[in-house]
Chains A and B, each alone.
Chain A
Amino acid sequence: MSNLLHRSKAIYQQLRIGDWLIITFSLAIIFLLFQTLWTTERATKVQVRLSDKIYGTYSLNQNRDISIQGVIGTSVISIAQGKVRFSKSPCHNQYCVHQGWLVRAGQAAICLPNQVSLELIGENKPYDSLNY
């Protein structure tokens, strides 16, 4: 234990004033990077809702298909390269599928007949609700 303490002190003493400056400066830059890049409107996750429940929240940082048993059948949601879309739907009009890829936080696609909805969520939503 004392050996460990001794060593950590050695490391501490190895660092010169300039090193501390550089490290502090780097930390500040990292902090700023997090602030600016993690609060853009670009979505990071998709929230899938089935009827009035949250079905699941998925990272957009993956490639996968999700099948959801909705009210009238199975909807398939595809996630790829930071985007998400309805790729298959049992509904008649297929509006949800025609919506195509969603990218930005706040974007949403709804399949009313099957009661499945997608909403992209990011650190900073550009708006609270969508007027459509």
Chain B
Amino acid sequence: MRKKSLLTLAILALMAITAIAINANKEPLYHAQSYVFGTLVDISIYGESDAHASALANQILQDFQQLHHQLHAWKNNLGHQTRQDSASELIRVNTAFSTSHQPVKISPLLTKLLSDAQALSIRSEGLFNPAIGHLISTWGFQQDNFGVSKIDAEQIQALVKANPSMSDISLQNGEVYSKNPWIKLDLGGYAKGYALDLAVQFLRAQQVQHALINIGGNIIAIGQHGSKPWRVGIQHPRQPAAIATLDLHDGWAIGTSGDYQRYFMLDGKRYCHIIDPRTGYPVQHTQAVTVLIPPQPHAGVLSDVASKPIFIETEDKKSHAAELLGITHYMVIDQNANVLITKNMAQKIEWLDEKFKRNAHVKFITP
């Protein structure tokens, strides 16, 4: 009889353990999503009350929205957003560049962003080039329904010859001036990264210990997901699945440039939104470049900017492009789905895709 009650106790204990295991799944994780910058913004906050986390997330989203109004390069009518009617500060600058040849008064924020973008553009030897807005619109990427039905080779050639470069811009006394009338600024490859840094700054000031912010695929981490680090998946360029995962530790950021993000097909060929400023044509030799940025003051910006030069450069010069911006952790997936990866990046990632797990088509590079 005593033995029986012991067994009954054992059963009850088992049931209790099950109940605890089920309850343990409820964790203090707040999650918000919204559409800003024409893309999806996804904020996770861990360890705060839902009410507090939701207030913080709303504040961040509002700041992003404001930033977008200031920086968007074309009239974006994604959805029925009514406040999009007014031209952004950037659009006014672009109009001034092409019509008058006078310096334009700009806000301190834009001055700061442009001088930073200029420095990065020069460091990347012009491969990151936010001045080629005209090329981008020629290829039909500055509209919601992107794509063109016919390639305007003449126009492209003329724009490449005009050689719009960030070094043509001078910033002085709160004014911007361009000596090249063919400059059209597009901060599409910069603003999201800047927004990440902004959000991190805000959350750290608010004493938030753990958060993960994802703007259109660019991610930055604060703290961790409870007792484990934040874990991010890296998108497969051709399938709706992740090819690998990695732990994103406090302060680290990750960004990918992919030919699958915005593209159109013409005569069976893929034309993506990443344009080589030297040829004026979309890059076709690479499917995706992922960069991992260690903690530093502008990790967000770097995660957005640094993948582009590596994407644009041909395979033999990709490591040089990475070196220019001091990138040591990166991964390239080329047009034939072969992977080039730096050793220290390879140490951090965990393959999910069987083919890559066996290291088939994976080549390691020493930066």
CA distance A23 to B12 in the complex (A): 12
Please indicate the chain B residues that have their CB under 8 angstroms from the CB of A99 in the complex: 240
On whether the beta carbons of A128 and B256 are closer than 8 Å, the reply is no
Q: How many residues of chain B get a CB closer than 8 Å to chain A's CBs?
A: 55
CA distance A107 to B258 in the complex (A): 17
18 more contacts with CB within 8 A, not counting A71-B79, A126-B352, are A12-B4, A52-B35, A92-B145, A93-B147, A101-B240, A103-B241, A112-B35, A112-B39, A113-B144, A127-B231, A127-B232, A127-B233, A128-B231, A128-B232, A129-B42, A130-B235, A131-B214, A132-B256
Please indicate the chain A residues that have their CB under 8 angstroms from the CB of B216 in the complex: 132
Q: Which 6 A-B pairs have the closest CB atoms?
A: A92-B145, A71-B79, A132-B235, A132-B217, A127-B233, A52-B34
On whether the beta carbons of B218 and A117 are closer than 8 Å, the reply is no
Of the residues B15, B61, B233, contact of A129 by C-beta under 8 Å: B233
On whether the beta carbons of B38 and A112 are closer than 8 Å, the reply is yes
> Is B158 part of the binding interface, using a Cβ–Cβ cutoff of 8 Å?
no
Q: How many residues of chain A get a CB closer than 8 Å to chain B's CBs?
A: 42
CB of A79, distance to nearest CB on chain B (Å): 15
> Is A24 part of the binding interface, using a Cβ–Cβ cutoff of 8 Å?
yes
CA distance A88 to B216 in the complex (A): 23
CA distance A56 to B254 in the complex (A): 30
Q: Provide the A9-33 mask, 1 if CB < 8 A to any CB of B, else 0.
A: 0001001010011011001100100
Please indicate the chain B residues that have their CB under 8 angstroms from the CB of A71 in the complex: 78-80
Nearest B residue (CB) for A103: B241
> Is B18 part of the binding interface, using a Cβ–Cβ cutoff of 8 Å?
yes
Please indicate the chain A residues that have their CB under 8 angstroms from the CB of B3 in the complex: 17
CB of A69, distance to nearest CB on chain B (Å): 12
> Is B25 part of the binding interface, using a Cβ–Cβ cutoff of 8 Å?
yes
Known: A110-B40, A112-B40. A130 touches B242 (CB 8 A): yes
Of the residues A51, A102, A129, contact of B214 by C-beta under 8 Å: A129
A-B CB contact pairs (8 Å), 25 listed: A24-B10, A27-B15, A52-B35, A71-B78, A92-B146, A93-B264, A102-B240, A106-B233, A108-B240, A112-B35, A112-B38, A115-B79, A123-B25, A126-B245, A126-B352, A127-B232, A127-B242, A128-B225, A128-B230, A129-B219, A129-B233, A130-B234, A131-B219, A131-B290, A132-B216
> Is B17 part of the binding interface, using a Cβ–Cβ cutoff of 8 Å?
yes
CB of B271, distance to nearest CB on chain A (Å): 12
Total CB contacts across the A-B interface at under 8 A: 121
CA distance A39 to B123 in the complex (A): 47
Q: Provide the B300-330 mask, 1 if CB < 8 A to any CB of A, else 0.
A: 0000000000000000000000000000000
CB of B145, distance to nearest CB on chain A (Å): 4
> Is A80 part of the binding interface, using a Cβ–Cβ cutoff of 8 Å?
no
CB of B67, distance to nearest CB on chain A (Å): 17
Please indicate the chain A residues that have their CB under 8 angstroms from the CB of B219 in the complex: 129, 131
On whether the beta carbons of A49 and B33 are closer than 8 Å, the reply is yes
> Is B44 part of the binding interface, using a Cβ–Cβ cutoff of 8 Å?
yes
CA distance A12 to B217 in the complex (A): 59
On whether the beta carbons of B233 and A52 are closer than 8 Å, the reply is no
CA distance A52 to B58 in the complex (A): 11
Of the residues B25, B61, B79, B242, contact of A106 by C-beta under 8 Å: B242
CA distance A102 to B242 in the complex (A): 11
Nearest B residue (CB) for A96: B240
Please indicate the chain A residues that have their CB under 8 angstroms from the CB of B79 in the complex: 71-72, 113, 115
On whether the beta carbons of A131 and B256 are closer than 8 Å, the reply is yes
Residues of B247-286 contacting chain A, CB below 8 A? 254-256, 258, 261, 264
Please indicate the chain A residues that have their CB under 8 angstroms from the CB of B290 in the complex: 131
On whether the beta carbons of A129 and B7 are closer than 8 Å, the reply is no
CA distance A15 to B21 in the complex (A): 29
> Is A60 part of the binding interface, using a Cβ–Cβ cutoff of 8 Å?
no
Residues of A32-75 contacting chain B, CB below 8 A? 34-35, 49, 51-52, 71-72
Please indicate the chain B residues that have their CB under 8 angstroms from the CB of A109 in the complex: 240
